[in-house]
Chain A
């Protein structure tokens, strides 16, 4: 077990190294010149060259990467080109907001997805089932910025139940979590539905029913725990999907997380920030996957033997 875990950890570190390398090269080949972005349009060629030298951008690619890696192993993500602030400070100050949003989204997607899946399974083949599955299909397909703006317009502007974007209280958290969660809830409802149908077919459920247990008790005490287990393991993988989603959702709702930071940095070709956010996201995804493996292993002992 420990061997399995260490092996996966080593693989994860290699993946992160690969991510850093690929991102660095891609950003290096970007047609946009970060120095021109910093220097602005009135800069003389001399100013441009000065800035290039100061930032070490006149060095060959491998020298730049080697320097970056040297900083990285010491936990130094460098300084933003435009803000001059340390990237680690910028990310650290924004990470809590993103984690909170993610927690909210996981809660939202489980709440919506699982309830829809359970109801659909119990009403299998009826109009309720079909409509729920159509709704879940829409949830999976709808672009997040559209969902976000719609929720914002209906629940914040028209009904006034929630604040129009921003950050701070629980009320601020609801709409962005929902927006982010709706996508996942579509998947979860489908998985929950088939998992539940599978479990309801099992012999022990028939036994429970034959014993004369009431319906609610059968569903919540006997069927649900077994049906949910394989789904819980999926949450780790979700983190990857969320990392993509927060860039959009945080921008729509003015949520001060790392997604918004990445979006602004991309527009300004602020490479150290783009690198930093990419690495932090990659780390989160890797940890999520490790967690998923780990949970699957506990839930399903068969994996351990492999």
Chain B
């Protein structure tokens, strides 16, 4: 608190001014009408503390709001339910000023108490939230997570509509954390009334409210007329029809019955659709915060030798692998995908050069190559990709036996220190939870993930880089954001030097839409709302 007062002047400068760089919605947008989205699987839950698959993620975004949000179609943070916020200069105290005009779907006005309740709820072990761990930096998190306390010590109400959150250490990603669905504000009375069924009868502050849910058939979202963002949403209604195979959804789209197939274009039909100009025109392509990679277990010989890992990096023909998936990706040069802030522009990565790779292998003492195992998830196209990798490795004398297993088995093998020398990440690859460079480090490349049952399958643990990442994330001043990203870029470049991974490709996203759908293309490949940003799209008929 003392800290905060002494630095008010600086903090005020950091407060994000509303207005200046506000997102400008499409001037041609029309209100009214409804659209039909299809999915194969029924929606699991719409409880923002529980929902954690890419299907319900964007649906929850339209039903709920958090203190922070993103400009549509971008990875730029903007205030959500918070009108403005200040950060103390040491980066540990965030003060959010709430909007005054926000109502829940049940008609009650949202208050600071709701914000506090929501954060306490998501971190309470009884809620069983898969996202609880994201809030690790809030002071008092450990006590709540272990069941010793009911409320987070660091979250307090400091004014009629002011919430202050104190962190146990500076965390530059904290605003992104507050934009996660897990940080959505929920009304206590509705949560308690519904109990475990809150996920089936959600009440939020979002642009839409749940009007109907017929299990196994459809969900209908109705426009929230009292939505606090004026003029939004444009659509009166969204119908999600579930239980539709992607192939059936595509046929129905061609028949004019569906507006967006939520599961995308089925791989078997991809070339046919893209080969037909009339259909290809309605496909929006965009980047995805995704990287597919091969992990090389740095604890298992011979991959404990960095020279061997670098040689493997030069042996893989990424273009050929991309052909296997119909060109639905771009070659990756580094762990971060190109659309992620912190991506190192101009870095070419390891060139495909089997001759040099073979020489490097010989230099490392493996002139005759060696035998190893490549773990892979057993659903198409991953075994085919593994075969391509196998051939590439054979090209430099490495004999790799493919271990094609169920997803859970591959994950389990990767979580053991001495089991999987190589894993192709397809089907389990990392897609960012939030658009920040830090999200690609800790669990998959940092020391904290190199534990039994962890996701750091190359068991790469570089203490220096861990220290540097902590240092980078302590830079919370938005004015120094560039400096922070520069540090992250350096971290990933050092990782490439050590080569615990072979980054293979970054998957592209292809969203198909009906002719009547309007709005900028960016809304259809929104990095945080997959498949589309429901609040800003509209229909033209």
Which A residues form the contact surface with B (CB < 8 A)? 30-33, 36-48, 50-51, 53-55, 79, 82-85, 89-90, 93-94, 97, 149, 152, 156-157, 164-167, 250-257, 260-261, 264, 267-269
CB-nearest residue of chain A relative to B439?
A42
Docked-complex contact B443 and A42, CB < 8 angstroms:
yes
Docked-complex contact A269 and B44, CB < 8 angstroms:
no
Q: Known: A46-B133, A50-B132, A94-B216. Is A166-B412 also a contact (CB below 8 A)?
A: no
Docked-complex contact A31 and B248, CB < 8 angstroms:
no
Chain B 206-254 residues near chain A, CB threshold 8 A: 214-217, 241-245, 247-248, 251-252
Chain B 471-525 residues near chain A, CB threshold 8 A: none
Chain B residues whose C-beta falls within 8 Å of the C-beta of A79 in the assembled complex: 196
Docked-complex contact A256 and B216, CB < 8 angstroms:
yes
CB-nearest residue of chain A relative to B451?
A45
Docked-complex contact A256 and B217, CB < 8 angstroms:
yes
CA distance A157 to B254 in the complex (A): 10
Docked-complex contact A165 and B215, CB < 8 angstroms:
no
Count how many chain B residues have C-beta atoms less than 8 Å from C-beta atoms of the other chain: 53
Docked-complex contact A165 and B248, CB < 8 angstroms:
yes
Docked-complex contact A54 and B128, CB < 8 angstroms:
yes
CA distance A33 to B407 in the complex (A): 11
Which of B45-53, B98-106, B157-165, B282-290 interfaces with chain A? B45-53
Is B197 an interface residue, CB under 8 A from the partner?
Answer: yes
Docked-complex contact B453 and A254, CB < 8 angstroms:
no
Chain B residues whose C-beta falls within 8 Å of the C-beta of A51 in the assembled complex: 125, 128, 130
CA distance A82 to B53 in the complex (A): 10
Q: Known: A251-B245, A252-B245. Is A31-B409 also a contact (CB below 8 A)?
A: yes
Q: Known: A48-B453, A93-B215. Is A42-B406 also a contact (CB below 8 A)?
A: no
Docked-complex contact B44 and A82, CB < 8 angstroms:
yes
> Could you list 19 A-B pairs, sorted by A, with CB under 8 Å?
A31-B406, A31-B409, A32-B406, A40-B131, A42-B433, A44-B133, A45-B454, A54-B128, A55-B128, A83-B200, A84-B50, A85-B196, A165-B243, A166-B241, A254-B241, A256-B214, A260-B216, A264-B41, A264-B42
Docked-complex contact A42 and B131, CB < 8 angstroms:
yes
Q: Known: A84-B199, A85-B199. Is A260-B243 also a contact (CB below 8 A)?
A: yes
- Chain B contact residues, majority secondary structure: loop
Q: Which of B52, B126, B252 contacts A54 (CB 8 A)?
A: B126
Is B455 an interface residue, CB under 8 A from the partner?
Answer: yes
Docked-complex contact A43 and B216, CB < 8 angstroms:
no
Docked-complex contact A36 and B411, CB < 8 angstroms:
yes
CB-nearest residue of chain A relative to B434?
A42
Point out which of A46, A89, A257 has the most chain B C-beta atoms below 10 A from its C-beta. A46
CB-nearest residue of chain B relative to A258?
B216
- Beta-carbon contacts of B452-468 to A below 8 Å, as 1s and 0s? 01110000000000000
CB-nearest residue of chain A relative to B195?
A84
Q: Which of B133, B242, B451 contacts A47 (CB 8 A)?
A: B133
Q: Which of B40, B134, B251 contacts A157 (CB 8 A)?
A: B251
Chain B residues whose C-beta falls within 8 Å of the C-beta of A41 in the assembled complex: 428, 430, 443, 455
Docked-complex contact A167 and B245, CB < 8 angstroms:
no
Chain B 125-173 residues near chain A, CB threshold 8 A: 125-126, 128-134, 136, 145-146
Q: Known: A51-B128, A256-B216. Is A84-B47 also a contact (CB below 8 A)?
A: yes
